[in-house]
């Protein structure tokens, strides 16, 4: 019986060594250690042995069973390790592969231009103000020296919601509202960027909705030379230190005197070319000294306070700065156009 057990042990160990898969190993376990296995068989036959032999064989049988079991366990963990290693090899990630490109968006060119202009004026001490796009007739026209029936209202024909409510035609009502809040006592130094609406037919230079930035400074002893200084600083920072500015007389109902500001043409340096239509100058914005009526209507004593105002179109600034030929590019949202200016 002792020989039989030793034989079984060698046989089993050999099979364990030969097993190449976990399944094969499982079979060996069932074959030798199962209830119907040869070792159980040996133990069953122990009844025929003498009292002296019984514990010896019993112990040996247990030892053999233990050795086979340990060998199977060891082999099993070895096979499992190998399988894991194989799996890791299959699933490994090649970190040297280039990644898939992700489309990164950026601010719209108009947003960038408006933010650039805002930064510039914040640097000169101006506040940023906003107001409603649906405005009252009073703030959009009357408070700005444009009473009902004034011919200049025709230039700004717009979308009316009721007789007294309309889509604002300019951002000037924000100025009137801000002055009103100050109760005619405190100085005002602000710019107001925002969307405005006019009943225009869309073409390369017109749109029924566009953006505007207006500025207003009201204080004691504000002079025309202060306006010129601020506009010159703006032109230099926005378009380059070499650009010259020129103020031409103009008319706006809410300023007196009123001016148009031109900057010298970058293309020809002032000699005259197709971009500046031969004049050497390019129109940038309108400005002027705040009309005394506008100051009085907002509660300021026009004998004590004076001020200047200006207004510009960010679309026009962007078009001049980047050589864009059609205002509609800003609104059609063609990514091929917009993505060119993500770092502008």
Distance from C-alpha of 189 to C-alpha of 193, rounded to nearest angstrom? 14
Is the CB of 182 or the CB of 246 nearer to Zn ion? 246
Site string for Zn ion, 167-206 (x = CB under 5 A): ----------------------------------------
Smallest separation (angstroms) from Zn ion to the CB of 264 = 8
Burial (CB count <10 Å: 0-12, 13-18, 19+), residue 272: middle
Smallest separation (angstroms) from Zn ion to the CB of 267 = 4
Smallest separation (angstroms) from Zn ion to the CB of 270 = 7
Is the CB of 43 or the CB of 268 nearer to Zn ion? 268
Distance from C-alpha of 86 to C-alpha of 81, rounded to nearest angstrom? 9
Is the CB of 243 or the CB of 291 nearer to Zn ion? 243
Smallest separation (angstroms) from Zn ion to the CB of 118 = 29
From residue 58, give the alpha-carbon distance in Å to each of 28, 68, 314.
Answer: 22, 16, 100
Residues with Cβ within 8 Å of residue 231, at least 6 apart in sequence: 245, 247, 261, 285, 287, 310
Distance from C-alpha of 307 to C-alpha of 172, rounded to nearest angstrom? 14
Contact of 71 with 47, CB cutoff 8 Å = no
- Write out the two tokens for 21: 């898969």
Is the CB of 177 or the CB of 266 nearer to Zn ion? 266
With CB atoms as reference, the residue minimizing the distance to Zn ion is 265
Smallest separation (angstroms) from Zn ion to the CB of 223 = 31
Smallest separation (angstroms) from Zn ion to the CB of 261 = 16
Is the CB of 224 or the CB of 268 nearer to Zn ion? 268
Residues between 139 and 168 with contacts to Zn ion, criterion CB under 5 A? none
Distance from C-alpha of 306 to C-alpha of 223, rounded to nearest angstrom? 8
Distance from C-alpha of 206 to C-alpha of 313, rounded to nearest angstrom? 11
Is the CB of 124 or the CB of 275 nearer to Zn ion? 275
Site string for Zn ion, 36-55 (x = CB under 5 A): --------------------
Is the CB of 128 or the CB of 267 nearer to Zn ion? 267
DSSP code, position 304: T
Residues between 249 and 278 with contacts to Zn ion, criterion CB under 5 A? 265, 267-268, 273, 275-276
- Write out the two tokens for 230: 């601020």
Smallest separation (angstroms) from Zn ion to the CB of 273 = 3
The verdict on whether residue 256 carries a ligand-binding annotation is yes
**How many residues contact Zn ion, by CB under 5 A?**
6
Distance from C-alpha of 76 to C-alpha of 161, rounded to nearest angstrom? 83
Contact of 280 with 271, CB cutoff 8 Å = yes
Distance from C-alpha of 184 to C-alpha of 63, rounded to nearest angstrom? 106
Distance from C-alpha of 325 to C-alpha of 172, rounded to nearest angstrom? 27
Instruction: Point out the annotated binding site for Mg(2+).
Output: 256
List contacts with Zn ion (CB under 5 A).
Answer: 265, 267-268, 273, 275-276
Instruction: Point out the annotated binding site.
Output: 256
């Amino acid at each position: 019986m002792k020989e039989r057990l030793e034989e079984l042990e060698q046989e089993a160990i050999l099979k364990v060594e030969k097993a190449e898969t976990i399944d094969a190993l499982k079979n060996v376990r069932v074959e030798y250690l199962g209830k119907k296995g040869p070792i159980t068989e040996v133990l069953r036959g122990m009844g025929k042995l003498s009292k002296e032999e019984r514990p010896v064989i019993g112990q040996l049988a247990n030892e053999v069973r233990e050795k086979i079991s340990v060998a199977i366990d060891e082999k099993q963990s070895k096979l499992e390790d190998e399988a894991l290693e194989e799996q890791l090899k299959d699933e490994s990630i090649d970190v040297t592969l280039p990644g898939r490109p992700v489309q990164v968006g950026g601010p719209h060119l108009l947003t960038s231009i408006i933010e650039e202009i805002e930064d510039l004026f914040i640097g000169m001490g101006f506040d940023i103000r906003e107001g409603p796009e649906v405005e009252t007739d009073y703030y959009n026209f009357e408070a700005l020296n444009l009473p009902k029936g004034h011919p200049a209202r025709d230039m700004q024909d717009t979308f009316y919601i009721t007789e007294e409510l309309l889509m604002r035609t300019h951002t000037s009502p924000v100025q009137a509202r801000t002055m009103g809040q100050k109760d005619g006592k405190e100085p005002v130094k602000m710019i107001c960027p925002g969307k405005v609406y006019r009943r225009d037919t869309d073409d390369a230079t017109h749109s029924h909705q566009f953006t505007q930035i207006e500025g207003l400074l009201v204080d004691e002893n504000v002079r025309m030379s202060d306006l010129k200084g601020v506009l010159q600083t703006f032109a230099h920072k926005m378009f380059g230190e070499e650009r010259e500015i020129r103020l031409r007389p103009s008319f706006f109902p809410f300023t007196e005197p009123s001016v148009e500001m031109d900057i010298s043409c970058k293309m020809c340096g002032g000699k005259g070319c197709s971009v500046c239509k031969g004049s050497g100058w390019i129109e940038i914005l309108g400005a002027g000294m705040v009309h005394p009526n506008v100051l009085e209507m907002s509660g300021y004593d026009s004998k004590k306070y004076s001020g200047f105002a200006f207004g510009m179109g960010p679309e026009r600034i962007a078009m001049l700065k980047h050589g864009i030929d059609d205002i509609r590019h800003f609104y059609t949202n063609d990514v091929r156009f917009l993505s060119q200016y993500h770092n502008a």
